[in-house]
Structure 1
Amino acid sequence: MFITAKDYFINYKLSPNYTGTNNTEYAENFMPYLTFASQIPNVLFNWMNVFVNLGGDLTKRVVWSLIIEILIFLVTVILAMIDSSAWPSEFFWITMSSVVVLNMFGGIFQNTVYGMAAKLPPKYTGAVVLGSNISGTFATIISILSGSIWSSYRKAAIYYFITAMFVILLCFDTYFAMPLNKFFRYHEMKSEKEQEKRPGQIVANARPPYWTIFKKSFPQLFNVFIIFFVTLSVFPTVHSDIKSISNEPFFGFVPVKMFTPITCFLTFNVFAMLGSLTTSWIQWPSPKYLVWPVLLRLLFIPLFLFCNYHPLNVERKLPVYINNDYLYWIIAVLMSYSSGYLSSLAMMYAPRAQTNTLHQIKAGMMAAAMLISGIFAGIMFSFMAPIFVQLQMPL
């Protein structure tokens, strides 16, 4: 939500026009700081949730995570309502602190949900990935609509973040409605019965064999990491700074000012969602051969750098080899679709390597932690992109 609201923070709250100063330090550094503030706690708490019991049963983890997230968005809405022009520094650090807390509890929530999904048939883990992509699409559409309906950054941000609060409330309802679902109750009871049959192998408070679980699921954990490493190496940092070559309406009707929201944020989220959805019908290649298309995706990193990528305040010296807006968009579609499709497959395959239900849950949680680790590594690598395009490397 914060990444998609980039214009509100950079072009409004932290802009010289709003603050009345010539200091652009906070605006220029907003995205890098946002990246660190969001991903470091997310990585730490995802892995802690695998190895440490952070707060008792699943219900406590889910409920408290959602409550904290609502409070953070409430603070964000209040900050959007009040005049912070006289204290941009305080606004910046309050926002970053909010992002840290939001992602701490978001990491716990996400990891717990993947662990719960691991009890169900594999396609439901893919459904969780699909849900993540749908949420990204939803956030992008709400951002575009709010920006189109309200010309004021302030009003657009207020309604945008209020929408996030309503979505979290919906998560509350769906979580507490799950026990009413016969299908979910059946698999809960099935999981409990399987553990009762193995009293000698698993004790309730016994330490799971983490290394054994990790080794069995490692091929798919590696796939998950590489998929998200590649995706986040280019999206959104590089992707959102690719400019139109023609500087004309895209497809003849998309305004130039909407080029980035449409070809970057909307394209990625929609096609990643479609990729995840495809795994409901097609699950190819098999776990053994999934690594090959995963490694092939590494080519997307140089391909995006060869597009018309112009980071802020950086003089590009690397020639633009992909100088057609439609070719760039096709590459973006392929990257997005493959991200959704392959990540869903890898997340579905990871728990399958385990035969014990409790081990499947831990494998699902490890896969979620590797997902976040891949995201973090990809974002860190994306900071190298401006350096690469300043190099003269003629082909």
Structure 2
Amino acid sequence: MVEEITQVPDGHSYSKLVGRARVKRQSDGFSASRAAYGNIPPPVDAFNVIYLSFVLGGMGFLLPYNSFIMAMDYFKMRYPLTPVVFDMSLVYIVVALLTVLTNNLLVETFSLNSRINFGYIMSFVTLIFVVVCEVWWEAWGTATSYTVNLAAVAVVSVGCTVQQSSFYGYTSMLPPKYTQAVMVGESTSGVFTSIVRVITKFIVNELRGSTVYFFTVSVSTVLTCFAMYHLIRRSDFIQFYIALCERGKTRITLEPTEDAGLIETNDTQYGILKIQTSPPPTGNQLSFANPAYEPSAPVPTYKVEDVVVRGRHTVTTSSVGLSALKRGIQARWEVTKATYPYMISICLVYFATLCIYPGVASEVVSCTLGSWMPILMMALFNASDLIGKMIASGARYWTGTRLVKGSIMRLILIPLMIMCVAPRHSPRFSAEITAFLYSVMLGLSNGILGSVPMIQAPTKVDDRHRELTGNMMTLMYMFGLAAGSLVAYSIENALGPIEDHPCSPVRVLVYPSVSASSLDGLFMPGSTTSTRFLSTLISTTTPNLGTIIDAANVTETSLL
């Protein structure tokens, strides 16, 4: 049964209950107790304002990471022949995994609002720092700048992951479509950053200038998402569903000497449940132990409305010590037993995605499209991912078993995408349309198989475990991302240097007629060989290439 605990002056707890016999499961995964709070119907999401605000929430916590990835053309130009995209992805994912582990342990220590505010502030401050100090001012040399950017990605990862995990716990307390709204927002973030990057690249020809404008738009968007979150946080709609989940965390526990009697009143619809230490009630009192209380009995049935609970509280979140740890482990085990197919599925989906996106996908070379190729690959993935997540909102076909099978079958995309870049000098699938097709397939399947588990898992547990389920699903999501990112590094090492391809942007940038073999190993940070080689090469053969030779690396700043 579900109850709401409030305090009364005499120190007793007063509860409103809804009898379990009258609770029916609904198609959206919510119990009938969610259909009304007492006798009050749930508020209506007028004009889908709450839904759209959660779309913006999903945008807000992934937009900083997407901004770094979509600015890859700038970072690849600033740090040539370094695995900058792989490094950024790995740093983000590893830090995110550690953060989500910590957040899962502290989910009941800090309030939901505090965690989300913390994430927004971290993201906002870090993005401003990057756009001002790193992109616009270029305050450090190349080697130091590389480290600073990776540190900025790590800080952004902490903030965004706290937000992400908290938002999934947040929406797990609402109807399922709001979890889907957050996932649509994640994909919208990728599409949005892709569009903004293309527009800024078209409008501003100079690469650094276009990147400054790009990050400025990102900062403004994060601020907008932050404001929207606070506008809807105290709405009646949000407070209604959160209150339902909070009262679902309460329990009435009878001592062995106590008995629960349902006392008949003049009201033909309601009775009073009273906790007492006397023998089981008789006469016109009706005990819960009495078979006559069953709904199928021919006698009148009573709806429990008022309860007096003497001498103890029922909420456990404030208690500490070994008992609290035991309850936490038990709660997580209950969630795992109810949702393990969805955990496995979400982990496999994002493992496959991170194996090839963004690292391998960003290294597909096109002699026709040049530096536009990785941007278009990202844009296609993000657009198809968004479509997949929108389709998933009405998915009724997927069960836990089918999700696991689909996630396993999707692993075939890993070798297919690798053949678009391997071997480096002449890939198996060299046509741009093939790489675009695989990118669309990757994004579409990621959208469907990556969002359905997050939507369905919270409906498989009790209301009191919904926020915890959202956090644990995010944890498995991060495990998949981290494992995929590590495999992506292994794939990148096995593929060899990208400049082996005759149309590699880096090879063309340095010197078109230099053989690939002569460039191998020359551009590692700190290599004096690379510095002497390029200094001689630029001074004698390419006077129209304006460059700055750094003692630790080589940086190209402009093409005159």
Report the TM-score range of the alignment, normalised by the length of the smaller protein.
Answer: 0.7 to 0.9
2:308 alignment counterpart: none
1:258 equivalent in alignment to 2:312: no
Offset at 1:372? 1.7
Structure with greater strand percent:
2
Structure with greater helix percent:
1
1:335 alignment counterpart: 442
- 8 Å contact from structure 1 (residues 227, 339) kept in 2: yes
Q: Which amino acid aligns with 1:223?
A: S
Residues in 2 aligned to 1:301 and 1:175: alpha-carbon distance in whole angstroms: 37
Q: Which amino acid aligns with 1:344?
A: S
**Deviation sequence 1:79-137 (CA, Å, 0-9, x none):** 222144x6222222222211111111111111100100110122221221111111011
1:42 to 80, 96, 105: 96
Give % identity: 22
**Deviation sequence 1:59-95 (CA, Å, 0-9, x none):** 11111221121111111011222144x6222222222
2:126 alignment counterpart: 72
- Stretches (4+) displaced over 6 A: none
**Deviation sequence 1:275-295 (CA, Å, 0-9, x none):** 000112233222332211111
1:215 alignment counterpart: 337
Q: Which amino acid aligns with 1:195?
A: K
- 8 Å contact from structure 1 (residues 4, 140) kept in 2: yes
**Deviation sequence 1:2-50 (CA, Å, 0-9, x none):** 11111212203x35xxxxxxxxxxx514233323321211111111111
Residues in 1 aligned to 2:162 and 2:176: alpha-carbon distance in whole angstroms: 21
Q: Which amino acid aligns with 1:109?
A: Q
1:226 equivalent in alignment to 2:280: no
- 8 Å contact from structure 2 (residues 73, 371) kept in 1: no
1:240 alignment counterpart: 362
- 8 Å contact from structure 2 (residues 92, 157) kept in 1: yes
Residues in 2 aligned to 1:217 and 1:230: alpha-carbon distance in whole angstroms: 21
Residues in 1 aligned to 2:214 and 2:428: alpha-carbon distance in whole angstroms: 37
2:76 alignment counterpart: 10
Residues in 2 aligned to 1:256 and 1:73: alpha-carbon distance in whole angstroms: 28
Offset at 1:266? 0.4
Offset at 1:332? 1.9
1:22 alignment counterpart: none
- 8 Å contact from structure 2 (residues 386, 447) kept in 1: yes
1:302 alignment counterpart: 415
Q: Which has the higher contact order (CA 8 A, sep 6+)?
A: 1
1:81 equivalent in alignment to 2:136: yes
Give me the TM-score of the superposition, normalised by structure 2: 0.61
- 8 Å contact from structure 1 (residues 8, 157) kept in 2: yes
Aligned with 1:384: secondary structure?
A: helix
2:480 to 357, 374, 383: 374
Residues in 1 aligned to 2:221 and 2:245: alpha-carbon distance in whole angstroms: 30
Give me the TM-score of the superposition, normalised by structure 1: 0.85
Whichever of the two has the greater Rg, that structure is 2
Q: How many residues align?
A: 360
Aligned with 2:400: secondary structure?
A: coil
1:101 alignment counterpart: 155
Q: Which amino acid aligns with 1:221?
A: M
1:122 alignment counterpart: 176
1:284 equivalent in alignment to 2:397: yes
Residues in 1 aligned to 2:132 and 2:97: alpha-carbon distance in whole angstroms: 28
Residues in 2 aligned to 1:168 and 1:386: alpha-carbon distance in whole angstroms: 32
Residues in 2 aligned to 1:164 and 1:378: alpha-carbon distance in whole angstroms: 26
The 1:360–1:138 alpha-carbon spacing in structure 2 relative to 1, beyond 3 Å, is same
Residues in 1 aligned to 2:100 and 2:464: alpha-carbon distance in whole angstroms: 18
2:424 alignment counterpart: 316
1:345 equivalent in alignment to 2:452: yes
Offset at 1:323? 4.1
Residues in 1 aligned to 2:109 and 2:430: alpha-carbon distance in whole angstroms: 53
- 8 Å contact from structure 1 (residues 274, 340) kept in 2: yes
Q: Structure 2: any 5+ residue segments left out of the alignment?
A: 1-66, 254-313, 319-323, 497-560
The 1:359–1:203 alpha-carbon spacing in structure 2 relative to 1, beyond 3 Å, is same
Computed over aligned residues only, the root mean square deviation of the Cα atoms, in angstroms, reads 2.2
- Equivalent residues in 2 for 1:52-71 (5 A)? 52-53=106-107, 56-71=110-125
Residues in 2 aligned to 1:120 and 1:158: alpha-carbon distance in whole angstroms: 38
Q: Structure 1: any 5+ residue segments left out of the alignment?
A: 16-26, 249-254, 391-395
- Equivalent residues in 2 for 1:67-216 (5 A)? 67-79=121-133, 80-84=135-139, 87-196=141-250, 198-200=251-253, 203-205=316-318, 206=324, 207-208=327-328, 209-216=331-338
Offset at 1:199? 4.3
Residues in 1 aligned to 2:75 and 2:434: alpha-carbon distance in whole angstroms: 31
The 1:383–1:157 alpha-carbon spacing in structure 2 relative to 1, beyond 3 Å, is same
Residues in 2 aligned to 1:105 and 1:83: alpha-carbon distance in whole angstroms: 24
1:267 equivalent in alignment to 2:380: yes
- 8 Å contact from structure 1 (residues 351, 364) kept in 2: yes
